[in-house]
């Protein structure tokens, strides 16, 4: 089962920072890097949400300020419970969603908002445990990059090249993190439509031979 503690332990192992009496990164700093990795992961593989909101009679504008932490709105269904579902165009400005329909709602009605949310890790964890390594890889990269930047202009007991070793480690892990995120991309979080029948009108095909006079 994923948790902030299990991911933190994995990150410390990667960073060789397992001496609890002399941690190089405090728990708070490490958590900040983990949350940054979770945010980037969420951009690619967000938590998919479906929320029921209500329209306001006489206006196309609806507040979606309660949908947080929100990455983006995918699509809007209105009116609801139709088959096939009725998805309507919309525009978004700040926390105001505007239904781009000819006639504004005339009464208080439910509508469904399908949206992408940032994953949680502090408390309830919303991403699968199989993705722990992705988060840990990104967090270790950011932690090492942060330390390299901090140490570059400081005297280091391990020698002047210590910060460079952390920078090299960070670059390798960042490359790996980005590869892992790319692997999540195919067909992720997209609304797909299709037909379950063969169209009655045959598609036109380009003619490649000349049959001659008939």
For the chain (length 214 residues), average pLDDT per consecutive 10?
Answer: 89 94 93 97 96 96 96 96 94 96 94 97 92 96 87 52 76 96 74 41 44 53
Read off the pTM: 0.79
pLDDT of residue 160: 46
- Residues written for the chain: 214
Numbers of helices and strands, H then E, in the chain: 4, 7
Question: Hey, how many other C-beta atoms are within 10 angstroms of the C-beta on 184?
Answer: 13
The phi and psi torsions of 164 (rounded to 5 degrees) equal -65, -35
**pLDDT digits 0-9 by tens, 74-101:** 999 999 999 999 999 999 999 999 999 9
Concatenated DSSP letters of 73-137: EEEEE-SSS-SS--EE-EEEETTEEEE--SS--SS--EEEEEEEE----SSS--S-GGGHHHHHH
Where in the chain are the domains?
A: 4-44+121-183, 47-117
Distance CA 152, CA 202 (A): 67
- Short-list 8, 46, 32, CA closest to 181: 46
Distance CA 19, CA 208 (A): 73
**Residue with the two structure tokens 């940054």:** 36
């Amino acid at each position: 089962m994923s948790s902030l503690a299990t991911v933190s332990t994995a990150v410390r192992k990667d960073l060789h920072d397992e001496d609890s009496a002399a941690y190089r990164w405090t728990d708070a700093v490490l958590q900040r890097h983990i949350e940054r990795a979770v945010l980037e992961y969420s951009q690619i593989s967000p938590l998919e949400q479906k929320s029921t909101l209500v329209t306001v009679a006489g206006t196309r504008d609806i507040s979606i300020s309660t949908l947080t932490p929100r990455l983006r709105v995918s699509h809007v269904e209105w009116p609801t419970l139709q088959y096939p579902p009725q998805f309507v165009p919309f525009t978004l400005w700040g926390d105001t969603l505007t239904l781009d329909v000819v006639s504004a709602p005339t009464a208080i009605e439910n509508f469904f908002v399908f949206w992408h949310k940032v994953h949680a890790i502090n408390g309830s964890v919303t991403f699968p445990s199989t993705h722990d390594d992705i988060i840990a890889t990104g967090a270790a990269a950011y932690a090492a990059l942060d330390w390299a930047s901090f140490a570059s202009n400081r005297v280091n007991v391990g020698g002047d090249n210590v910060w460079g070793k952390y920078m090299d480690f960070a670059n390798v892990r960042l490359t790996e993190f980005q590869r892992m995120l790319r692997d999540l991309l195919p067909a992720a979080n997209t609304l797909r439509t299709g037909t379950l029948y063969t169209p009655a009108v045959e598609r036109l095909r380009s003619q490649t031979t000349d049959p001659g006079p008939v």
